Structure 1
Amino acid sequence: MHLFNIGYVIIAAVLWGISGGLAGILMDKGWDPLVISFYRGSIGFVGIFVWLLLHRKGNKMKYSTKTMMWSVLAGLAVAGNFSFYFLSISESGVAVASTLMYTAPLFVLFSSFLFRIETVTPFKVIAMVIVMGGISLLTNVYETGLGSLNILGITSGLLSGLSYALFIFGFKNASKEGSPPFVLSMAFATFTIVMFLFIDHKEALDALFSEDLIWFITLGIIGAGISFYLYIEGLKKTSASVAAIIAMVEPVTASLFGLVILGEVLTLTQSIGLVIILITITLLSRKQKN
């Protein structure tokens, strides 16, 4: 079963990477990133909530206060992750924002050690450092000059990573007692309410009647509904620190999406970074299985 759970996390990360490519297409069409994020979560919420209603008789749903609190925290963390990530992109660029967001395993490992949630092994630490190095090569962050960095961009990037770590812990704890559909319904309902407060409402309304609506729907189904469902299933038997590192396959998928679909070209350095990430994640997955 451990192999299946790790597979769920990997598939979820792959779908998140594809979602990044779809979001990139919508941003190229001129849509505001926050509006894109809002529809990603809200459409995911609608799909999961409908599924929950249709299957409520055949499944014993648990609605404990603890499950609801962890689900709400997860929803707030997802909203924070999306918002801070896009703010970091606007201030410091994609390379810096992506690298800072994937400091999430650092926060997970530190929290695990501090609160004794799980054992922090040297192998996990080494794997995390190697994957972070691979991401730096993949995103070309080393080419970014110091003059283009600013405190707001760096701070928001780190906050996006912290939010990422929080939603990992939120979903993992919520899934201990609650079913994935219920947990996701609570989380994305919270996400939708919070994001609605910050988006451009006129643009959000325009999206409903635009020719790009199909892209928004696809993004919501893939990037929120299916992917997060698989991720929660995977977290049940996968430690938070390992899940955080394995989920770093997301930027690899996003890069391959850009290569195959958008016609982008990977440099030799980026290709080396991609291979480093894949090899390290494969080794970590095998060790977790054993």
Structure 2
Amino acid sequence: MLTPISWGTTYVVTATLLPPDRPLLAAVLRALPAGLLIILLVRRMPPSPTWWWRFTVLGVLNFGAFFPLLFFAAYRLPGGVAATVSTVQPLLVAGFAWLLLRTRTPVGQLLAALVGVLGVALMTLGAKAHLDPLALVAMVVATGMLGFGIVLAKRWGSPGSPLMSAGWQMTLGGLLLAPFTLAFEGLPDTLTGANLLGYLYLATIGGAISYWLWFRGIERLTPTTVSLLGLANPLTATLAGLVILGEFLTAGQTVGLAVALLALVAGQTVGRQSSGEPQRPDSGAVPAAGGDVHRHRVRD
């Protein structure tokens, strides 16, 4: 849950600390430095060509394509609106999980996801919300990419620790994105102290640390359970607007906040009741793409 909470601060950081209209630069600086630092710490290479291309695919879904679309939306939409679009992710993940993993999401979790979307919409969407159509499309596509990445990561597992997975995905995604950044945006002439602070925060708290926790969670929880935790993203985005940008909640938005919190808690409760205790990364036997089989043991 710490991961979507940190992601919820992305919108206010983008609005208050980053230089304007540079989504590609923000994406590269959030992914590449953190990824390289993690690789230096773990000192482990992908064990086979199969894992090189898997990390590359996941790096594009989770970072190389997701981050530019996310920052494009963050620059053009109010944080609450952008975060509201992301709440459809549990529904998308449920569909991807059925197609790729043949796992059925409990009806209670699907209902919790729908209620969560309603609650967040009540909380964040006001009559004065500015809706940029292109930014909305970008946010929907980004949400779908991250959801697909969750399910693929669950299907493929990991050849090492969650920290290793995060490091290589961030590095490969950032490297693929860097040439496009230089070609289409270039580098700014100067960066202020606030700019540097914003990029540092996104690369560490919103990057390396949050994605290490994210991939650790993917290993231990069901895909829909993980994505339902994403409801903390818009909740944080809205609360950050209250505290930092001086916004306020109407009575209807307060109701929406309560509904979204209820949906988040209910979704986790239903998921735990349906699957028992969360599985460890080595529990069960899940065939991965390419014929690999990950051997597991069941935790008492």
The structure with the greater share of residues assigned to helix is 1
Q: Which has the higher contact order (CA 8 A, sep 6+)?
A: 1
1:44 to 14, 24, 34: 34
Please report how far the alpha carbon of residue 263 of structure 1 lies from its aligned counterpart in structure 2 after TM superposition: 2.7
Which ranges of structure 1 fall in alignment gaps of 5 or more residues?
1-9
1:69 to 53, 56, 67: 53
CA contact (8 A) 1:66 1:174 kept: no
Map 1:232-247; keep pairs closer than 5 Å: 232-247=215-230
Please report how far the alpha carbon of residue 157 of structure 1 lies from its aligned counterpart in structure 2 after TM superposition: 2.9
Q: Which amino acid aligns with 2:29?
A: Y
1:133 corresponds to: 118
CA shift digits 1:10-62 (9 cap, x unpaired) = 111112123333233224x5362332222111232133122213xx6xxxx76
Q: 1:39 to 1:91 in 2, by over 3 A?
A: closer
Distance in 2 (CA, whole Å) between partners of 1:119 and 1:143 is 39
Q: 1:130 to 1:38 in 2, by over 3 A?
A: same
CA shift digits 1:238-272 (9 cap, x unpaired) = 11111111122111112222222333222222222
| Residue 201 (structure 2) pairs with residue 228 (structure 1) | no
Compute the TM-score of the two structures, normalised by the length of structure 1: 0.80
Distance in 2 (CA, whole Å) between partners of 1:153 and 1:18 is 18
Distance in 1 (CA, whole Å) between partners of 2:253 and 2:198 is 28
Q: 1:191 to 1:141 in 2, by over 3 A?
A: farther
1:34 to 24, 27, 32: 24
**Cα RMSD (Å) of the superposition?**
2.7
Q: 1:270 to 1:80 in 2, by over 3 A?
A: farther
Distance in 2 (CA, whole Å) between partners of 1:143 and 1:281 is 27
1:269 corresponds to: 252
Please report how far the alpha carbon of residue 89 of structure 1 lies from its aligned counterpart in structure 2 after TM superposition: 5.3
Q: Which amino acid aligns with 1:76?
A: V
Partner SS for 2:104? coil
| Residue 266 (structure 2) pairs with residue 283 (structure 1) | yes
Partner SS for 1:242? helix
Partner SS for 1:202? coil
1:5 corresponds to: none
Compute the TM-score of the two structures, normalised by the length of structure 2: 0.78
Q: Which amino acid aligns with 1:235?
A: I
2:8 corresponds to: 17
2:287 corresponds to: none
Distance in 1 (CA, whole Å) between partners of 2:245 and 2:180 is 30
1:159 to 127, 135, 141: 141
Distance in 2 (CA, whole Å) between partners of 1:70 and 1:173 is 11
Distance in 2 (CA, whole Å) between partners of 1:88 and 1:221 is 21
Partner SS for 1:248? helix
How many pairs were matched up?
269
Q: Which amino acid aligns with 2:107?
A: P
Q: Which amino acid aligns with 2:164?
A: F
Which ranges of structure 2 fall in alignment gaps of 5 or more residues?
274-300
Partner SS for 1:236? helix
2:293 corresponds to: none
CA shift digits 1:77-121 (9 cap, x unpaired) = 123222223444566665554333332222211122233432222
1:120 corresponds to: 105
2:234 to 219, 238, 251: 251
